[in-house]
Homo-oligomer: A and B are copies of this chain.
Amino acid sequence: MPPTKAPDSSRRSDRSRRAIHDAALALVAEVGYRRTTIEGIAARAGVGKQTIYRWWPSKAAVLMDAFLDLAGRTAEEAGTGPGDGEEPPAADPPGGGAPGFPDTGDLAADLKAVLRATVDELNDPVLEAVTRALTAEGIVDAKLGDEFVRKLLDPQLALYVTRLRAAQEAGHVRADVEPRVALELLVGPLMHRWLLRTLPLTHAYADAVVDHAVGGLAPRP
């Protein structure tokens, strides 16, 4: 059990929770993560600081919840939208809801569609600030990083695994390839460029990564 008693979450104010999420996201977008303070979030949300400290252990945790909440809401809207077309639903890192990954039978094409969408998302200036902040925080703080991976990243990556297993069954990928490794062959290079800003992150780059990686995964001739 925790050293000090936990608050009663059934009495939690939903109004405050939402206001805090909104304020946090808005402030990060406006002034950046570094200059976003808990005090600032509280003031902007019209909330006492204690209400933040009662429910979150750190600024990063607030932002992460806010981000997850945003992703959830976005996904919900997308899900309840009108009968969506058949083409590129993509796997949004923030949420990405249920269906996720296309499977047209053409692995390379499917991967390109998804990675291009990922590139677009990583280049979105609003999401970028928050995602960078959370990633950076997770790199240094293992606890937070784990949560980040578990809640945000793994659900996405699981979709890759599913698609890759299907490709293996269809004989487009060698059976001895570990899907978790294959997936990193695709996602790793994108992250590398995005995080380190070595070179521009473009659709063409995504395509090249897919081409090379799929070449290495295909059955030996």
Interface residues of A in 197-221 (CB under 8 A from B): 197-199, 205, 208-209, 211-218, 221
Report if A191 contacts B (CB, 8 A): yes
The one of B136, B146, B180, B189 in contact with A185, judged by C-beta atoms closer than 8 angstroms, is B189
Please, which residues of chain B bring their CB within 8 A of the CB of A133?
140
Select which of B142, B205, B209 is within 8 A of A197 by beta carbon: B142
Q: Is the CB of B140 within 8 A of A34?
A: yes
A45 close to chain B: CB less than 8 A: no
Question: In the complex the two chains form, is A192's CB within 8 Å of B181's CB?
Answer: no
Task: Give complex CA distance A127, B196 in Å.
Answer: 19
Instruction: Provide the bound-state CA to CA distance between A208 and B206, in Å.
Output: 21
Copies of the protein in its oligomer: 4
User: Which partner residue on chain B sits nearest A191 by CB separation?
Assistant: B192
Q: How far is the CB of A182 from chain B (nearest CB, A)?
A: 7
Chain B residue numbers with a CB within 8 Å of A195 are: 135, 139, 191, 195
Asked, given contacts A188-B188, A197-B149, whether A212 binds B208 with beta carbons under 8 Å apart, the answer is no
A153 and B217 form a contact (CB under 8 A): no
Taking CB atoms, residues of chain B closer than 8 Å to A180 are 198-199
Q: Is A160 an interface residue when CB atoms closer than 8 A count as contact?
A: no
Q: How far is the CA of A205 from the CA of B185 in the complex (A)?
A: 11
